[in-house]
């Protein structure tokens, strides 16, 4: 046996539904509304019957309801949508109602679920995620930056090498490095003190950075008074131009060192590069080969009296 609710009990069930519900006819007039919907519109449930939706809702919502009838008539389903109404964020679900034996839509049932708290939580979560990402980015930058000079540190350099060697190998680009050493820096540091030495290193780091102009290049402090510049997609000729620009920028600083060999601080530069990166060699091995060759070039400069530049060309 199937138990059927009496009409009065059905009405009470409808009125006490936990979401806001109303029934609208094709003229966007109310057939019925439950208590939650009445509270939303600040009206008694019995005050809706026969009245236009325009009496309680803005014109765009009325236009949308009429559009819903047209969509149902053409056989379309209507996805749930969000609206802002009465200062709340509401999720709107619309379903068609047809009389028995009639295929045309005679009314629609509109259910409104208040998702204001959910949206606030989503907004708060999005803000928290943005803040977390910003903090992570800041920490990452700090972790990869040399505290004294502001250049990339050795950890950041290794990450840059790994990424750019893979990219240059994939795109068949050359890659080159310049190893830069401040000439006779230890005696200078001993004579003038660590504070003056640190200030000089910061100034030289700035000069190096000023000569490395492309955003995709990397200037790093390798350790102590040694720096590395990595130039992806750059030939040895182009890297030599950058090296000469670095020497001029450091010379323009005119950091005096009366007891040094050149009466001012200078740099020695060793350059190495690869025109093609073999596919069967790990990026770390490529990096080590470049640095070894640049180191050989740097020692050749020192053997020749410092304050110079030598280009080395070892191929793997």
Candidates 112, 113, 102, 98; CA nearest to 25 is 98
Phi, psi of 212 (to 5 degrees): -100, 90
How far is it, in rounded angstroms, from Cα 116 to Cα 82? 10
In contact, 218 and 175? CB cutoff 8 Å: no
Residues labelled catalytic: 225
In contact, 148 and 221? CB cutoff 8 Å: yes
């Amino acid at each position: 046996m199937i138990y059927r609710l009496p009409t009065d009990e059905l009405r009470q069930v409808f009125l006490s539904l936990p979401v806001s519900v109303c029934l609208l006819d094709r003229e966007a007039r109310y057939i019925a509304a439950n208590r939650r919907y009445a509270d939303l519109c600040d009206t008694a449930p019995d005050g809706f019957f026969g009245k236009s939706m325009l009496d309680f809702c803005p014109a765009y919502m009325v236009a949308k309801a009429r559009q819903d009838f047209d969509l149902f008539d053409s056989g379309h389903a209507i996805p749930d949508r969000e609206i802002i109404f009465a200062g709340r964020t509401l999720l709107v679900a619309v379903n068609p109602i047809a009389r028995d034996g009639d295929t045309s839509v005679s009314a629609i049932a509109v259910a409104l679920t208040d998702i204001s708290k959910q949206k606030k939580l989503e907004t708060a979560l999005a803000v928290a995620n943005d803040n977390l990402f910003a903090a992570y980015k800041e920490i990452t930058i700090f972790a990869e930056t040399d505290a004294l000079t502001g250049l990339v540190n050795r950890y950041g350099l290794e990450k840059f090498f790994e990424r750019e060697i893979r990219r240059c190998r994939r795109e068949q680009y050359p890659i080159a490095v310049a190893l830069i050493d401040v000439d006779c820096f230890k005696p200078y540091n001993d004579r003038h003190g660590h504070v003056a030495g640190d200030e000089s290193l910061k100034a030289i780091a700035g000069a190096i950075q000023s000569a490395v102009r492309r955003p995709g290049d990397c200037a790093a402090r390798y350790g102590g008074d040694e720096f590395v510049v990595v130039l992806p997609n750059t030939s040895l000729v182009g890297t030599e131009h950058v090296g000469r620009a670095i020497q001029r920028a450091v010379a323009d600083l005119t950091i005096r060192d009366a007891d040094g060999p050149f009466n001012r601080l200078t740099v020695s530069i060793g350059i190495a590069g690869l025109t093609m990166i073999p596919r069967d060699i790990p990026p770390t091995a490529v990096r080590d080969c470049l640095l070894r060759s640049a180191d050989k070039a740097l020692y050749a400069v020192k053997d020749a009296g410092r304050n110079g530049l030598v280009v080395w060309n070892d191929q793997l």
